[in-house]
Every structure is written in C-alpha cells, then in structure tokens.
Amino acid sequence: MKKLKLGEAIGKGAFGTVFRALHLDTGQVYAVKQIKTNLMNPIELRDIMSEIDLLKNLYHENIVSYQGSHRRPITSIS
C-alpha cells in the first residue's frame, strides 16, 4: 500500500466516503474511497466488487483512474 495520509472528506456516497489523500513520498494528491464492507449484505458486496473490477479496466480522460485497493481485517472494540 502506498504511503498515504488521509485529509478531509470530499464526498460521500451509498458505499462509502471519499477523502483527499497525500502520498508522503511524492506529494501526489489522490482521492481515496473508504468502504465499510462489514455493513454490506452479500449482494451489495458483490456489486461493489464488480464496480472495482470495472474501474480496474476503465481508461477515459474524464474519469479518474483506478490506482489500487487494500482490504483491512475487520476488528471490533469490546
């Protein structure tokens, strides 16, 4: 995973929140979408994974490019 520092939220949708992020080594700015998959039912999870697969192969000048993804294990606080 890239060395990213999350900044302010810049958008929110049905599946998650988008944050401005700064790559600490290069200064490159990214948009990072955080998705809480533990709150999704199996159909929603399938749909979001399909969306990610579509973005991996989509290249268009008016659409941001997909740079990668990272999944963290869900932890609970007792």
The average pLDDT across 5-20 equals 91
Distances (CA, A) of 35 to 25, 27, 71, 74: 25, 24, 9, 12
Q: φ, ψ for residue 35 (rounded to 5)?
A: -120, 130
Q: Does a structural domain hold residue 67? A: no
Q: Which domain holds residue 10?
A: 4-56
Q: What is the CATH number of the domain that holds 34?
A: 3.30.200.20
Count of structural domains, the chain: 1
> Is 5 marked as a binding-site residue?
no
74 has a pLDDT exceeding 80: no
**Residues 36-70 pLDDT 10s:** 888 889 999 899 889 889 888 898 888 878 888 87
Which has the higher per-residue pLDDT, 44 or 71? Answer: 44
pTM (2 d.p.): 0.73
At 75, the pLDDT band (50, 70, 90 cuts) reads low
H-only helix segments in the chain: 42-56
- Whole-angstrom Cα distance, residue 11 to residue 22? 16
Q: Does a structural domain hold residue 39? A: yes
- Residues near 14 by beta carbon (within 8 Å), at least 6 away in sequence: none
